[in-house]
Structure 1
Amino acid sequence: MRVEREIIAFIQQNERDEERLNELMIQLFQRQFKENMPYQKFCRQKGKTLRNVKKWDQIPFVPVDAFKHLTLSRKPVEETAACFMTSGSTSGKRGKHYHAHLDVYNASMDETVRQFVLQGSDKWRIGVIFPSRESMPNSSLAHYLNWIYEHYGDASSGYFIDETGIQYDAFAEFLQRAQKDQVPVLLLGASYSYVHVFEQFQDAMYPLPEGSRIFDTGGYKNQSEALDLNTFYERLATMFDVPRSSCLNMYGMSELSTQYYDRGNARVPSVKIGPPWMKTRIIDPLTEEDVPFGETGIIVHYDLANVNSVIAVMTEDVGYETEEGFILLGRAEGAEAKGCSVQLSDFLQAVQDV
């Protein structure tokens, strides 16, 4: 499709062009309105149509839990190439994000990985402590980490987890070999994977060569002890003898096709930064209006790479805007959580006959 080729070209250009971004988002919204029937019905209920949506921030956003209740896909499910599912850690239902193909998804992922994670290096000695794509085919994170491993890992890279769990002895040998060879290492894993490493290795230290980087994402998902941010990054920095500025966090969601990153965690919480094809709003979920700059609200993401589902997704995360990006504070509680529930209820009522 022409618009998708244009989106890939825009992603690979990786430069801020607000006019072109708005043009592409509106073109994609028009396709999604026409071809995604639940979304079209929801938009009409909101009074938003092809005639009056002219700017990206007028595109109706969908509450993230809508992915648990309806199939939000332009293409029939049987014609899609991939389905990434949420963890389901907080409820019995799992959100499903269908992709007609992965061309745009992979282009978006590759550009952000090279910009924020690799930062100029074409090859790394990579250690992965997360299950493989083959063992978790519906995990967007497994796909993401496998992409980095396959495209940017050198011959000494490896996965250090299998169906029995983390291979601690092999992982320790990998770390010791890197120290002996004085080759910088890129460690990739879920946040909870590192907590298991802390528990297994206790006070042992595995100093990594200068220039090494440690990547984490995903929180704890009830898979491990939950550590506060300062404790977590201080333990990473101490165990591996790397500066906290080299401990990178990725903020991603199965319902999106693009990820946000920080520039290290010397101070927490760190600012999350997105690429030029992403937009973020901080809103009051009851009024749907932007909150004043610097005030807290619910985070809404607009992702041009979400070609098969919907561009705009309202999360259940609280944060506030900064000059460079946004600060993620955690999950919504109290009035903000109630506002998210109202949004989901309104969405389900609007599409109940679909």
Structure 2
Amino acid sequence: MTDKIFSIQNPQEFETIALAVFKHQFKHNKAYRSFCTLINVYASDVTKVEEIPFLPIQFFKSRPVLSSTEKIQETFTSSGTTGSVTSKHLVTDINVYKKSYLRGFAHFYGNIEAYVVLALLPNYLERKGSSLVFMVDDLIRKTKNIESGFFLDNLQELSKKLEELDKKGQKVLLIGVSFALLDLVEMQKFNLKNTIIMETGGMKGRRKELVREELHGILQNGFGVSEIHSEYGMTELLSQGYSKGNGIFKTPPWMQICTRDTEDALTINPAGKNGGINVIDLANYNSCSFIATQDLGKVHKNGTFEIIGRFDNSDIRGCNLMVL
């Protein structure tokens, strides 16, 4: 099935495969089936994608979300404050994740071997189980370039390397968490011509949260670039959306976004209306492909989307009957 998932060419193929994945997960995923039956939805009732229920993402904190009996190869965990309950994504086939992010990157950016990848992800490197670090580490290896690598807190070395590579005309991808990228441009101002700056979000308590326009404005000015790229991913997903500027994200062909009504979690919004972000990630074949996240956003008629914030814990309504 995963070969079919990564070969999707059009909306009709997406619909057919998404329905097949739903039926598979309803049958084999105990947590998902329990949730579906609790809201009175059964596999035989669902004949189109719009009828598929979305599992609240908090389930990944409270129980195993698995559609496979294969051995767990990797467990990805979310970051969290000390003592907080973290999400666990149990991955039974790590090659599906690798295929997803490598094909996803190629879909939007071309051959990874054309780039030097410089990673500024200090807070993620300080803990195990990060799906982001796993992905970026593999992307670094796939560049086959000795200049690629992680930078923990060595901003001086990173800034020197950035300038040298950019002046040589080398295509560079600098990927980092927001607070670390801000630290870098506060230390030094750049005028980069051949470098993509990609933020993965997250101040992680290290700085005051900024709205996207303000953050991107500071980074554009600091790096001397016209656009700031962004990556949209999370522990519970095996695919990523990418933005090449203005906070407008696109997804690879095996991933789709819609929004749900903030007052009625079972109602899907029309395009253009703000709501809770629901994700269909067919790469999650062995866990759950239909997830209601805690992000707020808007989906445009052409399928692109933007993130406008997060639900407050006090604002999460509906579909949480089994989470606690």
What is the TM-score when the length of structure 2 is the normalising length? Answer: 0.90
2:159 touches 2:184 (CA, 8 Å); kept in 1? no
**How many Å apart are 1:55 and its aligned residue?**
1.9
**Closer/same/farther in 2, CA of residues 176 and 339 from structure 1, 3 Å limit:** closer
Structure 1: stretches of 5+ with no match in the other structure:
350-354
**How many Å apart are 1:282 and its aligned residue?**
1.3
Equivalent in 97, 101, 105 of residue 89 of structure 2: 97
**How many Å apart are 1:63 and its aligned residue?**
0.8
2:229 touches 2:244 (CA, 8 Å); kept in 1? yes
Identity across aligned pairs (percent)?
Answer: 25
1:132 touches 1:142 (CA, 8 Å); kept in 2? no
**Closer/same/farther in 2, CA of residues 281 and 225 from structure 1, 3 Å limit:** same
* Cα deviation 1:223-273 (Å, max 9, x = unaligned): 3342332332222222222222xx2101111111111111223xxxx2221
**How many Å apart are 1:51 and its aligned residue?**
1.5
| 1:328 matched residue in structure 2 | 307
| 1:305 matched residue in structure 2 | 283
Q: 1:271 and 2:248 equivalent?
A: yes
**Closer/same/farther in 2, CA of residues 90 and 272 from structure 1, 3 Å limit:** farther
1:186 touches 1:214 (CA, 8 Å); kept in 2? yes
**Closer/same/farther in 2, CA of residues 180 and 20 from structure 1, 3 Å limit:** closer
**How many Å apart are 1:196 and its aligned residue?**
2.5
| 2:239 matched residue in structure 1 | 258
For 1:127-276, what aligned pairs fall within 5 Å after superposition? 127-131=118-122, 136-152=127-143, 154-161=145-152, 166-199=153-186, 201=187, 204-208=188-192, 210-244=193-227, 247-265=228-246, 270-276=247-253
Aligned-partner Cα distance in 2 for 1:103–1:121: 17
| 2:268 matched residue in structure 1 | 290
**How many Å apart are 1:41 and its aligned residue?**
1.7
Q: CA RMSD in A?
A: 2.5
For 1:39-78, what aligned pairs fall within 5 Å after superposition? 39-75=32-68
Equivalent in 30, 35, 42 of residue 28 of structure 2: 35
Aligned-partner Cα distance in 1 for 2:263–2:99: 35
**Closer/same/farther in 2, CA of residues 225 and 134 from structure 1, 3 Å limit:** closer
Greater Cα shift, 296-305 or 228-237:
228-237
1:63 touches 1:340 (CA, 8 Å); kept in 2? no
Aligned-partner Cα distance in 2 for 1:298–1:170: 41
2:182 touches 2:219 (CA, 8 Å); kept in 1? no
Greater Cα shift, 126-135 or 222-231:
126-135
